[in-house]
Structures are given as C-alpha cells and as structure tokens.
C-alpha cells in the first residue's frame, strides 16, 4: 500500500490518523469524515451523531473508479453494503445514500476513489428530488466550507470508536 510517512492510512494527499478508522479489509478502509456532509442545523447540534457521514476508501491510491481492480471494486462495494446496513440501523435511519464522485468535474475534492455512506431520514429532504439536486449543485445556495466546520480529532475518534463497536 502506498502510504504517507508516519501514517498507515492515506486519503489522496492526506494522512489519516488511525483513530479515524473504524473498519478495514485487506483492500480498503472506512473513516469518519472530518466534516459532516451538510451543515448541522442549530436545533440538531445535540443530535450531531444523526448527521454523520462516512467514507470507505481503497487502500491503493487510485484516482478514478475505472482504475480499480475487479477485486478492489468488489471489496469496496461489499464493505460499503455491510457498513451501510449497520450504520443505518445504528442511526435509526430509513435509507442510505451511497455516492462516488469520479474525477475532478464530478465534485471529487480528494483524488482517491472513495464511497460516501450517508444515513438518511424522511426529514432530510422535503422533496426527494432535492437529494439529487443537492448532490449535483456546486454550492449554489450554501458556502459549505463556511457552514461545515472541521471536527476535532477527539470528536472523530469518539465517533469511530462507536462504529468500531458495531463490528466487534
């Protein structure tokens, strides 16, 4: 596995602290996101756990989905399915969004193949078609980098610890 000095895990150019990692396979690993996928509404700050999002990442640094080997592709989706099923139940969600942004013009901000796994609830979108629009729009109405704040390592480590318990 290509790694960054001092770190076992790499996400594109970023070193990943092992405390963020909650699930691994021989070909990939799962982490909690440094930022939630959407801004956390003030009235839901106490329910932050419900706004969680996860990334499942190939061990090998691969920029595009088509460049994964067949084994890597299978592993990525089998593990995403397993993780999704458990986090959906854990968050008492009713649905999941699995997303891959493949290439720079798709909105991919880290050039490394990864699957976003997002637990969803009925109240997430008034109109379900807004989900697609939100994924396709590039910050038209929100400056997400201002509204979505980086979490501390302690916050991410605690969340990852909770997820690790789901798989033990």
Domain ranges of the chain: 9-38+45-129+139-146
Percent helix, percent strand, percent coil in the chain, to nearest 5: 40, 20, 40
Q: Is 14 a catalytic residue?
A: no
DSSP 53-71: -EEEEESS--SSGGGS-HH
Residues 62, 113: contact at Cβ < 8 Å?
A: yes
Q: Which residues contact 124 (CB under 8 A, 6 or more apart)?
A: 131
What pLDDT, on a 0 to 100 scale, did the predictor assign at position 104? 93
Give the list of residues 6+ apart from residue 140 with CB closer than 8 angstroms, or none: none
Active-site option among 91, 112, 114, 116 = 114
Q: pLDDT 10s digit of each residue in the chain, 168 long?
A: 443 345 689 999 999 999 999 999 999 999 998 886 654 444 444 554 556 779 999 999 999 999 999 999 999 999 999 999 999 999 999 999 999 999 999 999 999 999 999 998 887 766 555 555 555 554 444 444 455 678 899 999 999 999 999 998
What is the rounded distance in angstroms from the CA atom of residue 162 to the CA atom of residue 69?
Answer: 31
User: What per-residue confidence (pLDDT) applies to 121?
Assistant: 86
Into which CATH architecture does domain 9-38+45-129+139-146 fall? 2-Layer Sandwich (3.30)
């Amino acid at each position: 596995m290509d790694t960054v000095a001092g770190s076992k895990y790499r996400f594109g150019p970023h070193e990943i602290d092992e405390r963020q990692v909650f699930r691994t396979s021989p070909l990939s690993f799962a982490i909690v996101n440094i930022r939630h996928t959407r801004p956390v509404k003030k009235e839901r700050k106490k329910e932050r756990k419900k706004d969680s999002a996860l990334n499942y990442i190939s061990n090998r640094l691969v920029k595009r989905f088509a460049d994964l080997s067949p084994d890597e592709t299978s592993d990525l989706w089998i593990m995403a399915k397993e993780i999704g099923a458990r986090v959906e139940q854990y968050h008492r969600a009713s649905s999941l969004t699995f997303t891959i942004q493949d290439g720079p013009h798709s909105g991919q901000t880290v050039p490394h193949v990864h699957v976003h796994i997002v637990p969803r609830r009925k109240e997430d979108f008034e109109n379900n078609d807004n989900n697609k629009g939100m994924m396709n729009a590039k910050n038209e109405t929100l400056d997400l980098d201002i509204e979505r704040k980086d979490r501390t390592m302690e916050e991410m480590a605690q969340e990852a610890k909770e997820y690790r318990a789901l798989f033990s």
